[in-house]
Amino acid sequence: MRRSERLVLLCVFATAGLLAPLRLAAQERVPSPEAAQVSQELALLRQEFQTLRETYEARFADLESRLAALESSAAPATQQPSATVPAGAAGAGGPSGALPVYGGASALSKVFNPDIAVIGDFLGAAGSNPVNPSPALEMHESEASFQAILDPYARADFFMAFGEEGVDLEEGYVTFPAIPGGLLLKAGKMRSAFGKVNPLHNHVLPWTDRPLVTENLVGGEEGISDAGFSVARLIPNPWVFLEAAGQVYRGDSPGVFQSYERGDLSYVGHLRGYQDVTEASNLDMGFSYAHGHNDAGPGFTSDLYGADFTFRYRPLRRAIYRSFVARSELVWSRRDQIDGRQGAFGYFVSGDYQFARRWYSGVRYDDSERAYDRSLRDEGYSLVLTYWPSEFSQIRGQFRRTSYAEGEDANEFLFQFQFSIGAHGAHPF
Amino acid sequence: MERIPFNFLGRVEISAMRTTLLESWLVFVLCLGAPAGAQSKLNVVATTQDLASLTEDVGGDRVSVEAIARGYQDPHFVEAKPSFILKLYRCDLLVLVGRELEIGWLPPLIQQSRNSRIQVGAKGYLDASLHAKILEIPTGQITRAMGDVHPQGNPHYWLDPENGHVIAKDILAKLVELRPNDRAYFEQRFADFEKRLTEAEKRWEEMMTPYKGIDLVTYHRSFPNFTDRFGLDIVGYVEPRPGIPPSPRHTLDLINEMKRLQVKLILVEPYFDLKTPNAIARETGGRVLVFPPSVGGVKEVTNYIQLFDYDINLLISAIKEVGATPN
């Protein structure tokens, strides 16, 4: 029923209610000219009400018969009620056409479920490593992601990392992609924009592990990952793509930063420059800075400076068969601690070459001092071979030789199965 | 009493100055904020060169169009390069193929574009597939065991010229919505394009009529709309499943099937490796055609109508050469 119709009905009922006592009073009294007039009006009103009722009864009957016809024609088609994906739901990730309904209160709301994917990361290790041993076999991480557009102004992304024993919120943030001033605002828990390796999730790394410089200076696998705000802005200029990001975090990133009171925030800044060299190759450079309190005790701070370089080559015509990526990242750490300031340095250089549609090979050289003692220096070499049976699974082997500062040498063979189910995520770049 | 006129005058001067300042500031802000003025061109980014060509056909010199993916590039595997972010940052309209063709690279580009005009569902976001005829929409259970299947149907729908009309019409509606002052111009361009496309369609139909029912093999499932329109039959694919590279077993099966059905033609998109198709052609006495599915796939093809001209001529000359006959 339309709103105006409902209003009319309401008015009619209200008038009838108001007039009812009046009618009683009129019957008791001796008829007077005023009473005659009132009864005349009353009769008129009654007549109007009657016609109204008749029209509505007719309409209701019509509607009921139509409903019945609809039900009878729909009933034999499917036993379960179904919802239809709107034609414009591109990127919703779901199948088009009829979706089954599982007894929810509102069937259509399922269309708005986030894109869900789970990525399994199974790791194995052979050989010996007395300094930093990893288990022989391990379901290292199962990452569940939930991603959706929130409203016309924002989107939300959640990444839950299920280890063998516990669950960890790897990332969970809201992004406002189009706020005034050309800003990209994020709020929540995030992997910070320090360098190139730190923001990457495990499953998009080109190796089974993270480089030694990440382990020693930038907090290892967790890295600088914390709750806070991030603001990034493009810096328009006629020459290159330039993006500056500023981030403020609570100050807790185990292994790097530790917050003792509310004021102990940590800060990360990143400047990224990118330029296409040809249509097939490009250069990506970045400079990063991070500051925060460290685990040496209240009042002690750490500063991290980073530089990263990436060169990519991928001929467009043969894009799915050949590619080459060279990466390097350098990190300087300045850490205040009880015995004074420690300045440590580390870096890695790596190259990955795709030589067939599903095959990648890679090398990496690692060299890094340790944040708390620069005289301890670790060095490593890796050879990597990766095979992709399909876009959704990956098998990788890595030979790694590490010379630890303790004087121990470790030769290891690491292997990894990665497999992804659910929504198709974006390809990393 | 003497001070009052002085003050009064002073105030007047100040307020006059303020007005001019305010005015110039307003003018400045309006210049910045206005959609680059009515005279300037509408900036359009299309995800493929096909859509760029159709947008140019309708938009003419009132729009400036850039494409992201090149015609000789696999549109499923475009890299989300920051240089594309810059293109999206500046554009007023994004035209995309949709049906999850760009799922691997467009969402992060849109997200990082900082452009509210082209966010999903905004005025400047045009999914060109909404009214097109879409084939191969999976029904029933779909799993990734079927390969990289597109749940919303085959996204290569622009290869049916009938869909070209539909896409151009959607583009027209969008351009008129964004630039109502240019309605007459766009409508005239659209009518002109419709006429040219309809004439061309008649020509293509005539050319292809003798070859209806010819069997062929394609590498990827890029051509169902094309073969559907022109009455060709696809009997197999070089890929065992969408997105899965050829396996020896499947290749052998395909060779046997092609021999059995006397199939001589193998259509390969310009971005696939020719090794397996060539081997199949040697075994079956067939011919491999590097068959562009998109504008820009080969140098000669620079617009939507030329794409069909090129493909149909290529196909017919190959059919004549191998002497294929309809089954």
The model's pLDDT over A286-298, given as tens digits with 9 standing for 90+, comes to: 999 999 999 999 9
User: What pLDDT, on the 0 to 100 scale, is given for residue B254?
Assistant: 97
The mean-pLDDT minimum among A157-161, A362-366, B32-36, B90-94 falls in B32-36
Distance CA A156, CA A173 (A): 6
Give the one of B72, B96, B107 whose C-beta lies nearest to A316's C-beta.
Answer: B72
Residues 6+ apart with CB under 8 A from A116: A144, A145, A146, A422, A423
Helix locations, A200-267, DSSP H? 212-217
Q: How confident is the model at residue A83 (pLDDT cuts 50, 70, 90)?
A: very low
Instruction: Calculate what percentage of chain B has a pLDDT beyond 90.
Output: 80
A130-166 confidence digits (pLDDT tens): 999 999 999 999 999 999 999 989 999 999 999 998 9
User: What pLDDT, on the 0 to 100 scale, is given for residue A359?
Assistant: 96
The structure tokens listed for A3 are 């709103």
In a domain, A341, yes or no: yes
Distance CA A182, CA A168 (A): 32
Quote the number of domains for chain A: 2
Report yes or no: A94 at the B interface, CB cutoff 8 Å: yes
Mark which of A56, A75, A103 sits at the end of a domain: A103
Question: What residues of chain A lie within 8 A of the CB of B74, using their CB?
Answer: 319-320
How crowded is residue A187: how many other Cβ atoms within 10 Å of its Cβ? 15
A288 contacts A305 by C-beta, under 8 angstroms: yes
Distance CA A18, CA A38 (A): 13
Distance CA A113, CA A115 (A): 7
Q: Is A121 found in the same domain as A77?
A: no
The structure tokens listed for A80 are 């379960």
Residues 6+ apart with CB under 8 A from B185: B60, B62
Residue that wins the pLDDT comparison between A168 and B11: A168
Question: Do A319 and B74 count as a contact with CB atoms less than 8 A apart?
Answer: yes
Report yes or no: A316 at the B interface, CB cutoff 8 Å: yes
Residues 335-354 of A with CB under 8 A from B: none
User: What pLDDT, on the 0 to 100 scale, is given for residue A108?
Assistant: 66
Residue from B103, B135, B143, B274 whose CB has the most chain A CBs within 10 Å, to mutate: B103
Residue that wins the pLDDT comparison between A58 and A249: A249
Size of interface A-B (CB pairs under 8 A): 131
User: What pLDDT, on the 0 to 100 scale, is given for residue A106?
Assistant: 57
**How close does chain B come to A179, measured CA to CA in Å?**
7
Q: Is A116 found in the same domain as A17?
A: no
Question: What residues of chain A lie within 8 A of the CB of B293, using their CB?
Answer: none
For the residues B152-179, what does the mean pLDDT come to?
A: 97
The mean-pLDDT minimum among A105-109, A234-238, B194-198 falls in A105-109
Question: Do B103 and A274 count as a contact with CB atoms less than 8 A apart?
Answer: no
Q: Which residues of chain B does CATH 3.40.50.1980 include? A: 42-203, 207-322
**Does residue A7 register a pLDDT over 80?**
no
C-alpha distances out from residue B2 to A318, B6, B7, Å: 87, 7, 9
Distance CA A15, CA A6 (A): 14
Q: How confident is the model at residue A45 (pLDDT cuts 50, 70, 90)?
A: confident
Q: How confident is the model at residue A32 (pLDDT cuts 50, 70, 90)?
A: low
Dihedral in degrees, nearest 10, Cα atoms B260, B264, B270, B271: 20
**Does residue A413 register a pLDDT over 80?**
yes
Strands A225-234 and A241-249: antiparallel
Residue count of chain B, please give it: 327
* Half-sphere exposure for B247 (CA within 13 Å, toward CB): 10
How is residue A90 annotated by DSSP?
T
Give the one of A93, A392, A429 whose C-beta lies nearest to B79's C-beta.
Answer: A429
Q: Domain range spanning residue A250?
A: 112-422
Q: Which amino acid is at B3?
A: R
Report yes or no: A33 at the B interface, CB cutoff 8 Å: no
Question: What residues of chain B lie within 8 A of the CB of A316, using their CB?
Answer: 70, 72-73, 271
**How close does chain B come to A89, measured CA to CA in Å?**
9
| Residue given tokens 């200076």 in the structure block | A217
In a domain, A428, yes or no: no
User: What pLDDT, on the 0 to 100 scale, is given for residue A70?
Assistant: 64
Distance CA B16, CA A298 (A): 58
CATH superfamily of B207-322: Nitrogenase molybdenum iron protein domain (3.40.50.1980)
**How close does chain A come to B292, measured CA to CA in Å?**
12
Question: What residues of chain A lie within 8 A of the CB of B77, using their CB?
Answer: 319-320, 427
Of all residues in chain B, the one with the smallest CA distance to A243 is B82
The structure tokens listed for A346 are 């580390």
Q: Is A157 found in the same domain as A249?
A: yes
Q: Tell me the average pLDDT of chain A.
A: 86
Q: Is A60 found in the same domain as A141?
A: no
**Does residue A415 register a pLDDT over 60?**
yes
The mean-pLDDT minimum among A16-30, B145-159, B298-312 falls in A16-30
The structure tokens listed for B8 are 């009064």
In a domain, A90, yes or no: no
**Does residue A36 register a pLDDT over 90?**
no
Question: Do A152 and B104 count as a contact with CB atoms less than 8 A apart?
Answer: no
Residues 6+ apart with CB under 8 A from B179: B38, B42, B62, B186
A325 forms beta bridges with: A312, A352
User: What pLDDT, on the 0 to 100 scale, is given for residue A28?
Assistant: 43
Residue from A204, A231, A237, A320 whose CB has the most chain B CBs within 10 Å, to mutate: A320
Nearest CA to B290 out of B310, B262, B263 is that of B310
Residue that wins the pLDDT comparison between A52 and A205: A205
- Element at B6 (helix H, strand E): helix B3-33
Q: Tell me the average pLDDT of chain B.
A: 89
**Does residue A85 register a pLDDT over 50?**
no
CATH number of the domain residue A349 falls in = 2.40.160.10
**Does residue A322 register a pLDDT over 90?**
yes
Residue count of chain A, please give it: 429
ipTM passes above 0.85: no
Q: How confident is the model at residue A425 (pLDDT cuts 50, 70, 90)?
A: confident
Question: Do A184 and B81 count as a contact with CB atoms less than 8 A apart?
Answer: no
CATH of segment(s) B42-203: 3.40.50.1980
**Does residue A252 register a pLDDT over 50?**
yes
Question: Do A178 and B116 count as a contact with CB atoms less than 8 A apart?
Answer: yes
The mean-pLDDT minimum among A184-188, B13-17, B82-86 falls in B13-17
Q: How confident is the model at residue A40 (pLDDT cuts 50, 70, 90)?
A: confident
For the residues A393-407, what does the mean pLDDT come to?
A: 96
Instruction: Calculate what percentage of chain A has a pLDDT beyond 90.
Output: 69
Distance CA A138, CA A119 (A): 14
**Does residue B133 register a pLDDT over 70?**
yes
**Does residue A53 register a pLDDT over 60?**
yes
Buried b (16+ CB within 10 A) or exposed e, A41-62: eeeeeeeeeeeeeeeeeeeeee
Residues 139-198 of A with CB under 8 A from B: 149, 152, 155, 175, 177-178, 182-184
Give the one of B89, B148, B270 whose C-beta lies nearest to A391's C-beta.
Answer: B148
Q: Is A196 found in the same domain as A246?
A: yes
The phi-psi region of residue A310 (left if phi > 0; otherwise alpha if psi is between -120 and 50; otherwise beta) is beta
Mark which of A103, A137, A158 sits at the end of a domain: A103
User: What pLDDT, on the 0 to 100 scale, is given for residue A177?
Assistant: 87
**How close does chain B come to A72, measured CA to CA in Å?**
25
Q: Is A133 found in the same domain as A21?
A: no
Give the one of B86, B245, B271 whose C-beta lies nearest to A317's C-beta.
Answer: B271
Q: Is A116 found in the same domain as A75?
A: no
The mean-pLDDT minimum among A52-56, A134-138, B182-186 falls in A52-56
Mark which of A71, A103, A135 sits at the end of a domain: A103
Question: What residues of chain B lie within 8 A of the CB of A391, using their CB?
Answer: 148, 243
**Does residue A82 register a pLDDT over 70?**
no
**Does residue A29 register a pLDDT over 80?**
no
Handedness of CA A16, A22, A27, A31 (dihedral sign): negative
Residues 391-420 of A with CB under 8 A from B: 391-392
Q: Is A55 found in the same domain as A162?
A: no
**How close does chain A come to B304, measured CA to CA in Å?**
20
For the residues B74-83, what does the mean pLDDT come to?
A: 95
User: What pLDDT, on the 0 to 100 scale, is given for residue A172?
Assistant: 97
Give the one of B82, B115, B147 whose C-beta lies nearest to A274's C-beta.
Answer: B82
> Terminus-to-terminus CA distance in chain B, angstroms?
109
For the residues A324-328, what does the mean pLDDT come to?
A: 98
Instruction: Calculate what percentage of chain B has a pLDDT beyond 70.
Output: 88
Q: Is A7 found in the same domain as A70?
A: yes
**How close does chain B come to A390, measured CA to CA in Å?**
7
Q: How confident is the model at residue A102 (pLDDT cuts 50, 70, 90)?
A: low
Rounded to two decimals, the pTM is: 0.79
Residue from A173, A200, A391, A393 whose CB has the most chain B CBs within 10 Å, to mutate: A391
User: What pLDDT, on the 0 to 100 scale, is given for residue A1?
Assistant: 44
User: What pLDDT, on the 0 to 100 scale, is given for residue B147?
Assistant: 84
How is residue B162 annotated by DSSP?
H
Q: Is A72 found in the same domain as A140?
A: no
Neighbour order of strands in the sheet with B233-237? B233-237, B215-218, B265-268, B287-290
Of all residues in chain B, the one with the smallest CA distance to A96 is B152
Q: How confident is the model at residue A178 (pLDDT cuts 50, 70, 90)?
A: confident
**Does residue B8 register a pLDDT over 50?**
no
In a domain, A427, yes or no: no
Handedness of CA B99, B103, B105, B107 (dihedral sign): positive
Q: Is A288 found in the same domain as A331?
A: yes
